[in-house]
Chains A and B, each alone.
Chain A
Amino acid sequence: MGERREIQLTVNGEAVSREVEVRWTLVDFLRHELMLTGTHVGCEHGVCGACTVLLDGRSARSCLTLAVQADGCDVTTIEGLSPKEGLSPLQQAFADHHGLQCGYCTPGVLCTLTEFLETNADPSEEEIRIALSGNLCRCTGYQGMVDAALAYVAARKSQLA
C-alpha cells in the first residue's frame, strides 16, 4: 500500500474527510471512494475533458489533479450541479437541443460551460466553440451542445431584460 494522507475538503457543498493514497487522482477518489460516478474518465492525460470538475469554482481536469491536492478545496461535480428534482436550465437546454447522445462527455461539458457561462454574459458561437474545445465528444458533432449553450444564453438574456 502506498503513502496515505488525511484530506478534508468540500464536495458538492458537503464537508468530506478521508484518508487517501497520495497517488490517487482526484477523479478516482471522486468515483471510487465517494461513489460520485457522474464524473467520467476518458483519457487520463488531460485532453478529452470527460473528467472536468469545478475546483474552487474553476473548471479543471480531475485526472491531472491528485486527490491530495484537493485538500482544503471546494469541489463541484455534475451531481452538485444537478437539482434534486428535474433539470437545471442548462441541462434542460441540452435535452431540448439534443446536446448529448451517449452522455459520457456530458458531465465534463456541463462543468466547463457552467464556469464559462458564469463569466461570459453573451458569448458568440465561436467563443462557445473555443470554450468547448477542451471537451472531446465523439457522438454529437458538437452542434447540439453549441445550440444548447446559445439557447441558454438567449433565455438568460431575455429573463434579465
Chain B
Amino acid sequence: MSWVGSSVPRVEDPALLSGRGKFIDDFHLPDMLHAAVVRSPYAHAKVGKIDCAEALAMPGVHAVLTQDDLPQPFRDQRLLLLVPNPAIRHPITYFALAKDEVCFAGEAVAFVVADDRYIAEDAAERVIVDYEPLPVSADCKAALEPGAATAHADRDDNIAADFPMTYGDVEDAFAGAAHVVKESFFTHRGGGHAMECRGVVAADDPVTDSMTLWSNTQAPHMLRNVYARMMGVSETQIRVIAPPDVGGGFGPKGMYYQEQFCAAAAARQLGRPVKWTEDRRENFIATYQERDQYWDMEVAVDGDGKLRGIRGRLIHDSGAYLPWGIITPFISSTTIPGPYVLPAYHINLVAVFTNKVATTPVRGAGRPQAAFVMERLMDRVAQELGIDPAEVRRRNFIQPEQMPYPVGLVFRDGSPVVYDSGDYPVCQAKSLALANYESFRERQAAARKDGRYIGIGLGSYVEGTGLGPFEGVNVKVEMSGKVAVQTGAAPQGQGHQTMLAQIVADRLSVKPEDVSVTPGDTAGVGIGIGTFASRITANAGPSAQMAANTVREKLVKAAAHLLEAAEEDLDLADGKVFVKGVPDHGKSFAEIATFTNGMPGFALPGGVIPGLEETSYFTPERSTYANGAHVAEVEVDIETGDVKILRYTTAHDCGSMINPKMVEGQVMGGIAHGVGNALYEWMHYDEDAQPQTVNFGEYLVPMATDVPRAQQVHMETPTPLNPLGVKGAGEGGTIPALAAIAGAIEDALAPFGVRVTQCPVTPPYLLSLLDAARKEAKS
C-alpha cells in the first residue's frame, strides 16, 4: 500500500499534544542571558546621543549594545537586500541597530542583555536616547503628493520602485469595448500574528570560532548565508537551527531581523549564550507586516461580458525598508489575470516608503488583495451587464484544454507565467453545487421578506506555488537501521515531517512513524531556500522521493552483495531487504547499513557504495499553479453594519495530495486568515504613523466564534512539473476569501446599491456605505 495520498496521523502530534514540544523560548542553555530591545517611540527621528550609563549600572545588567558597539561590518553596512530588482530605485534595508535615523516606531535602537528578561526590561527603560523628531510619511498614497514628507531624511521622494507591467494591446482593448467599468479599491492586510512570537538564542563557541543561532525562522539557510556573507566567515562557522517546533510562521518569520544579528553580537561579546524572545507588543510593531494597497482599475469587456483588457495603477505601501525587495507588489500585479482569459493588461506599479515597519509577504503574499480587486471587477461587470456573477466568470475562464496556458506576463525570475494544469470551470461548478448556489435566490427572497439581508459571493483564484529553485532533502539509513531524513527548510505547523515521512516510507517500504524527520538545520543539508510561497511539498517532496529512491537502490545493491542474489530478485518490507517470496532470506536495514559503513582498514567489496545516504535537490522548471473557488454566504445587519458568515464552501485543487487531512487543515486555516482580512484585521496607524492596534484586544484576530465551518471539496489535477504531481496548499484558503465575503456583503445589500471597495469591511464602514447609498437613492 501507499502512504502517500492517505491521511496518516501526524508524527508531530503526540509531543505537541502533551506539552513536550520544543519551541524557541523553551531553550534553557547553561549560563544563558536574556535580552530586551530599546525601540524608537517615534515613527521618524534623528537619533542623537544614547546614554546607557544608568542601565549599565543596574545589578544584573551585562551589556547595552548600540550601533557603535556592534562588530563590523554592522556599524557601516545595512543588512543585505535579499531579492534585488532593477526597478528598485532606493534599495534601502535595516541596520542591525538604528544608525543616526529611525524610520518607524518600533525600530531597534539598543539591545540590553541581563540576567533575566525582567531585569533586561527594567534596564531598557533606563536607556536614554536623544531623538529629534522628523516629518512623517504615514500613508502611501499621500506620500506620493508633491512636497510630502519623506520617510528617509536623505531622499527627495518616497518612491521605492516604479515600473509598468504589461502585455497585449490595452489601448485597442479599451477602444473597442462595449462596456468599460472603473473602480478604485483600498485593501489592507495586517500581519501574520503567529501565536508564537519571534525568538533567537545565540551561542558562540570560541574554541571552533563558530556561532550557533537557534531561531524560529522559516529559512535557516537564508539567515546563515546573510550572516556568513556579512561577517566574511565561512558557512561552516555559522550554524542556524530552527527549533523542532515553531509556533506558526505565515510569512513574517521568513525574513531576517535586526535582533538575530544583535543576539549573535552580544553572545560573542559576552561569551555567554543570549536569548531574545519577542513579546507581543514588539510583534505588533516590529515584525514585518503586509499592508496597504490602493488600486485604480478599469476593465473593458465585450457585450457578452468577455474580458478585453484591464488597466490601472497599484500603489503599494512598502513600509520603511525593503528587506525582501518588492516581491509583494510584484506578486499582486501578476495575480490580477487569475483564472480568466485576459487578452491585454497594463498596470503601473508604485512601491512607496512610509514610516512604518517593513512589509514582506504574509500568507497569500499580495494575492488576496489582487483577488479581491479582480473578483470585485468581475462582479462589477456582472452588475453592469445584468448577468449572474457565476456566469460572467464562466464565460471568461481559461478552459482545461488551453493548458499549459501562457498568461502573457513575465514572473519576477524573468520566466513567462505559464499555468500548468487545472480545470477552473469544473472547480467553480463544484463549489457552486456544494453551496446550493442554484437555490440561493429563493432563500434570499424569503429572507428579505423577513427583513433579513443575506447575500452570496464568489471568489476564484489561481496561485503560483512551489517555486524553485530547490529545497534539498537528505535521506539516510543509520546503522541502527532507522531512517533519518533532514531538510533545510523549517516547518511551522504545516506537517512537513509527516509529509516527508510518508514519501520516504513509501520508497523504503517502512511505516511513516519509523522515519524521523529533522528539518531546519543548516548542518543537515548544505544549501537551502526556506519555507514560504507554498513551496515545500512541491520542492522538498520530490527531493525526498529522489533521495529515497537512491537510498533504496543502495540498499538493494548492498543487500544483493550480502545475500548473493540478483538485485532484481530482491524486495523491501518492514526494514528488511529480502529475496522475493522468501522473507526469511534477507538482511535488515541495520545489517546493511553496518556493512556499507565498512570497518576501519577493510576495503569495501567492489561495487558497494559507502553508506546508505543521499542528498537530492529537485529543481522545478517553474512554478506550478494551484486554483480554487470559494463561495461565502453572509447576513448583514443593516442597522449596525454587523456581518455574520452563514456558510462557507470551497473547491480546491492543489494537484495530488500527499495527506488529504493536512491539506484540508491548510485550506481551513487559510480561510480563517482570510475571514480576518475580510472583516476584522486592521493594523491602524495614526497620522503620525504611530501604531494604534498593538494588542490582541485592538487588533482583531478571528476567534472560534467568528470563523465559520467550511465545507471543502477537493480536486486533484496533478501538475506535470514534478514527479509527485503536487502543488502548494498553504495559502490558497486565504487568497479568495476577501473577495468572496466582500461579494456576499454587496449581494446582501443589493437592494441599496452598496458597492464594497475596501477590506476589511468593518461595521462602521459598511454603515457609512449604506448611508451614502440611501442618500443617493433619495436625491
A98 close to B (CB within 8 Å):
yes
B312 close to A (CB within 8 Å):
no
Among the listed B19, B60, B277, B279, which residue makes an inter-chain contact with A79, where contact means beta carbons less than 8 Å apart? B19
- The stretch of B20-28, B589-597, B758-766 in contact with A is B20-28
B671 close to A (CB within 8 Å):
yes
- The stretch of B177-185, B544-552, B660-668 in contact with A is B660-668
Known: A78-B19, A87-B14. A103 touches B493 (CB 8 A): yes
Give the contacts of B253-298 with A (CB-CB under 8 A).
Answer: 277, 279-280
Contacts of A133 in B (CB 8 A): 703-705
For the complex formed, measure the closest distance between the CB of B253 and the CB atoms of chain A, giving whole angstroms. 11
Known: A38-B21, A47-B695. A142 touches B493 (CB 8 A): no
A140 close to B (CB within 8 Å):
yes
Which residue of A is nearest B697, CB measured?
A: A47
Cα distance A23–B122 in the bound complex, in angstroms = 12
Known: A2-B118, A143-B709. A41 touches B25 (CB 8 A): yes
Contacts of B196 in A (CB 8 A): 40, 42, 102, 104
B578 close to A (CB within 8 Å):
no
B12 close to A (CB within 8 Å):
yes
B696 close to A (CB within 8 Å):
yes
B557 close to A (CB within 8 Å):
no
A48 close to B (CB within 8 Å):
yes
A144 close to B (CB within 8 Å):
yes
For the complex formed, measure the closest distance between the CB of A100 and the CB atoms of chain B, giving whole angstroms. 6
Tell me whether B668 and A106 are in contact (CB under 8 A).
no
Known: A132-B704, A141-B669. A102 touches B60 (CB 8 A): no
Give the contacts of A123-161 with B (CB-CB under 8 A).
Answer: 125, 128-130, 132-146
Among the listed A50, A95, A139, which residue makes an inter-chain contact with B10, where contact means beta carbons less than 8 Å apart? A95
Cα distance A103–B17 in the bound complex, in angstroms = 7
Tell me whether A104 and B195 are in contact (CB under 8 A).
yes
Cα distance A128–B703 in the bound complex, in angstroms = 12
Tell me whether A91 and B17 are in contact (CB under 8 A).
yes
- The stretch of B242-250, B349-357, B377-385, B533-541 in contact with A is B242-250
Give the contacts of B668-712 with A (CB-CB under 8 A).
Answer: 668-673, 695-697, 701, 703-705, 707, 709-710
Contacts of B245 in A (CB 8 A): 102-104
Cα distance A135–B705 in the bound complex, in angstroms = 11
Known: A102-B194, A102-B493, A104-B196. A140 touches B18 (CB 8 A): no
Tell me whether A87 and B18 are in contact (CB under 8 A).
yes
Known: A100-B13, A102-B246, A141-B668. A130 touches B696 (CB 8 A): no
B644-672 to A contact mask, C-beta < 8 Å, 1/0:
00000000000000000110110011111
Contacts of A145 in B (CB 8 A): 704
B193 close to A (CB within 8 Å):
yes
Known: A38-B20, A45-B280. A94 touches B671 (CB 8 A): no
For the complex formed, measure the closest distance between the CB of A130 and the CB atoms of chain B, giving whole angstroms. 6
Which residue of A is nearest B14, CB measured?
A: A87
B720 close to A (CB within 8 Å):
no
Which residue of B is nearest A37, CB measured?
A: B26
B188-227 to A contact mask, C-beta < 8 Å, 1/0:
0000111111000000000000000000000000000000
Give the contacts of A28-82 with B (CB-CB under 8 A).
Answer: 31-32, 35-45, 47-48, 50, 77-79, 82
Which residue of A is nearest B712, CB measured?
A: A143
Cα distance A39–B493 in the bound complex, in angstroms = 17
Tell me whether A104 and B248 are in contact (CB under 8 A).
yes
Which residue of A is nearest B676, CB measured?
A: A138
Give the contacts of B1-53 with A (CB-CB under 8 A).
Answer: 9-10, 12-23, 25-26, 28
Among the listed B18, B277, B280, B669, which residue makes an inter-chain contact with A101, where contact means beta carbons less than 8 Å apart? B669
Tell me whether B664 and A48 are in contact (CB under 8 A).
no
Tell me whether B12 and A103 are in contact (CB under 8 A).
yes
Cα distance A32–B27 in the bound complex, in angstroms = 9
Tell me whether B704 and A95 are in contact (CB under 8 A).
no
Contacts of B695 in A (CB 8 A): 43, 45, 47
Tell me whether B20 and A101 are in contact (CB under 8 A).
no
B494 close to A (CB within 8 Å):
yes
B492 close to A (CB within 8 Å):
yes
Contacts of A125 in B (CB 8 A): 709
Cα distance A27–B728 in the bound complex, in angstroms = 37
Contacts of B20 in A (CB 8 A): 38, 82
Known: A42-B280, A43-B696. A102 touches B247 (CB 8 A): yes
Tell me whether B195 and A1 are in contact (CB under 8 A).
no
Contacts of B248 in A (CB 8 A): 101-102, 104, 138-139
B491-504 to A contact mask, C-beta < 8 Å, 1/0:
01111000000000
List 12 other contacts, CB 8 Å, given A24-B118, A102-B247.
A43-B695, A77-B19, A78-B18, A82-B20, A98-B662, A101-B248, A103-B247, A137-B704, A140-B665, A141-B710, A142-B703, A142-B704
CB within 8 Å of A: which residues of B?
9-10, 12-23, 25-26, 28, 59-60, 116, 118, 192-197, 245-248, 250, 277, 279-280, 492-495, 661-662, 664-665, 668-673, 695-697, 701, 703-705, 707, 709-710, 733
Q: List 7 A-B contacts (CB under 8 A).
A: A35-B28, A37-B22, A87-B17, A102-B493, A103-B13, A105-B195, A141-B669
